[in-house]
Structure 1
Amino acid sequence: MDLFQVLLVIHIAAGFVCLAAGIGAALVRKRKGLHTGFGEIYHAVYVVIFVTSIWMAILHWESSAYLFFIGIFSYGLALFGYVAGKRRRTNWIGRHIGGMLGSYIAIMTAILVVNGHRIPLLNDLPALLLWFIPTIIGTPIIVWIGRKHGSRN
């Protein structure tokens, strides 16, 4: 196995853990304990996803340069949400929700863009649409959750 393949295996494994931790954080009560534990796992594993995506993009720049920029943008959202939750400054809940759910939308977008051609029903959709489906679905969820929890700022 070459370096790219090793990084890809690590990247995929981290992606599964990140998706599970994100769902866990979303489903449990929003307070210290399980929610923050899932959040710490989510952030730590997102760092792994970020580093491996950057490294893989550099190794296969001609075909994967876009992964470099997606990695920076998506981890930027995760970091923004993570730091907002740690610092708890003005409108921290809105920033935390926007950053964390925005990064979840980004990871779902990456999964669909890379694997959509292998997924029944999705493989019939135009490839460009796969870039937008998570945002179309996720943005109203961010707004709804933001309104639900926004009064706690």
Structure 2
Amino acid sequence: MGICSSCDSNHAATAKLILQNGRLQEFPYPVKVSYVLQGNPTCFICNSDEMDFDDVVSAIEEDEELQPGQLYFALPLSWLKHPLQPQQMGALAVKASSALMKSNSGSEKCGCRCKSVTPFPVPEEVARRKVASGRGAEKRGRGGRRKFKAILSDIPE
């Protein structure tokens, strides 16, 4: 859904890893967890699909490969084998969303032109009347120039 229509893509899906500092690391080729952990020795890697509220967080085995199209997190060792609290899950979701937005994942590579939603401008006087009356009724005025003001702000996608 949204404004961005799907497009043919020549690039392969990547395994995406959200690091503890919030950066996104992408792997376009198969890579073992042990290789990733060499650069991040104070953490463990887990698959985002296997994380749930109040459920124990478990690590992916070091000999397993990160799979293309999957999202992974590098988490501190202190979280290993402990239940994931809702606040922690929320913080991870925000961190992942921010990292993915910064990377512009896919939008430049495939030529997709995602745009923000721009509302249709409404005359300022009509907007005031709609808010004041609470009904959205519109009265027609005489011709002439009007000031236009958007009722909604842009919603980036």
- Calculate the TM-score normalised by the size of structure 1: 0.29
Higher helix share: 1
Larger Rg computed on CA atoms? 2
- Structure with the bigger RCO (C-alpha within 8 Å, sep 6+) is 2
- Calculate the TM-score normalised by the size of structure 2: 0.28
Higher strand share: 2
